[in-house]
Amino acid sequence: MKPIVAIVGRPNVGKSTFFNRITRSRNAIVDDSPGVTRDRNCGHATWDDVAFTLVDTGGFLSDDKDDFANEIRFQVLQAIEDADVIILLFDGKAGISPYDRDIVEILRTTEKPVFYAVNKIDGLEQETNLYDFYSLGIEKLYPVSAEHRYGIHDFLDDLILAFPKSDSVQTENMIKLAVVGRPNVGKSSLINRILGEKRLLVSDIPGTTRDAIDSVCNINGKPYLLIDTAGIRRKGKVSKKIEKFSIIKALRSLDRCDVALIVMDTNEGITEQDINIAGYAFERKCGCIMLLNKWDLVEKNSKTAKKFYEQLRIESKFLSFAPAITISALTGLRVPRIFTYVDEVYNQYASRITTGQLNRIMELAVKKNEPSLFRGKRLKFYYAAQVTAKPPTFVCFVNYPDAVHFSYKRYLINQIRERAGLDKTPIRLLFRLRTGRIEFDKKKR
């Protein structure tokens, strides 16, 4: 396994900026407002050909002035427990805080390597700001600037030397699952249920999750990457800058996932925003599974589930291929079954069919239902080929690509679904100007 490095510290010392600098990404939300990061955020980093996992944590608070203080404290302690190496980040401009002393005292009880870094030291002339921090009884302090890269190279050189010696396990082929939905529909509760631990903050207050959080789980010997995202509100309901960033990150999570788990609150019914979120997933052409959560709270009769499914299919016709299942993240009802659907959807999402099989399907489809004339001329379909998977993407060469009506395109996609067994995945079908002379209906002449 790759070494795990946790970054801890009080709010607004620059942990997220430091995280982004080391991982060479923008996966952590950065803002001047204290307490922006609440959950642990994992990222992959490499230095001198040594790979490791970096964990950004919520700002440490030892009292309960913040509504989430106790939860954040739990997250920090959990990160320390899970980590191989710990980085305590101080604020070189603000100086020592009582919170800094609290964290140092906690870290004295661990036998794991701890690196103490003083952030916001932008150059040699500012290293005098380190002197006060030696009063904490720390022998080695690293002056760094996450924003300007000062001291980062020397710090990382020493950091990787402290990693435990072990064989790394590559999990590059993990199925990536983005858990999306409106605020407070149970996304974090679902991930916690799957992981079997209190990995993510769970609260009745909408908007608890702000970053897109990655977690790895192993189900029946197969690794999966779970991405928890901020709740996606209607545009008119989004006002705070941080919330806008979170929603952008949630949408970006759909771009990098294989399968989107679209969570809905059945206790509130299927809402317009649920369908909008499903539309975001459809636009990004990832696999989709509809999870009707909080089923334990719904008053049921013999036709309740059928009514929900019918309403869902009527309002989200564009996702007719997406499986739907009623679950309860709270009780665990049918949660294990989710991964049966995930495997089915992913296998189709990543599948390929041969050029011969595809052309036979297209030939039969055109013979069964010929396209309308275009300006008095017949549309001629020459041949087709699959160009990529994830999702299955096909190119069909025709004499007038722009003349293929969207309804006929939908018909051809449905024929591919039915005859190639791709009934649970999105499909892309593109039309290009002909490059050959052989038509489907002349192949056997």
Mean pLDDT of 25-46: 59
For residue 88, the model assigns a pLDDT of 93
Higher pLDDT among residues 62 and 173, named by residue: 173
Confidence tier at 199 by pLDDT (50, 70, 90): low
Q: Which of 16-25, 49-58, 103-112, 151-160 has the highest mean pLDDT?
A: 151-160
Instruction: Find residue 118's DSSP bridge partners.
Output: 90, 143
Which residue matches tokens 């008095």? Answer: 376
Query: What per-residue confidence (pLDDT) applies to 296?
Result: 94
Given a cut of 80, is residue 171 above it in pLDDT? no
The hierarchical CATH code for the domain 355-442 is 3.30.300.20
Residue 335 clears pLDDT 90, i.e. is over it:
yes
Report residue 270: phi and psi, to 5°: -80, 120
The DSSP output letter for 234 is: -
Judge whether 234 and 279 are in contact, CB under 8 Å: no
Residue range 150-163, pLDDT digits in tens: 999 999 999 999 99
Percent of the chain at pLDDT exceeding 90: 53
Token pair 């207050």 is found at: 205
Q: Which residue has the higher pLDDT, 85 or 75?
A: 85
Options 3.40.50.300, 3.40.50.970, 3.40.47.10, 2.60.40.1510; CATH for 175-349 is 3.40.50.300
Task: Using the structure block, give the residue that is written with the tokens 């010696």.
Answer: 165
**Edge-to-edge strands, sheet with 222-228:** 213-219, 222-228, 175-181, 259-265, 287-293, 324-326
Residue 167 has pLDDT above 50, yes or no: no
> Tell me, what DSSP letter sits at residue 237?
G
Note the pLDDT tens digit of each residue in 352-394: 999 999 999 999 999 999 998 888 888 999 999 999 999 999 9
Identical topology for domains 175-349 and 355-442: no
CB atoms within 10 A of CB 241: 11
Report residue 11's pLDDT band, with 50, 70 and 90 as the boundaries: confident
Q: What is the pLDDT of residue 366?
A: 95
pLDDT at 75: 60
312 DSSP 8-state letter: H
Secondary structure of residue 226 in the 3-state scheme: strand
Predicted local distance difference test score (pLDDT) of residue 282: 93
Select from 153, 161, 181, 407 the least CA-distant residue to 281. 181
In sequence order, what are the residues at sequence separation of 6 or more whose Cβ sits closer than 8 angstroms to the Cβ of residue 424? 287, 321, 322, 323, 341, 344, 345, 348
Domain ranges in the chain are 4-161, 175-349, 355-442
- For domain 4-161, the CATH class is alpha beta
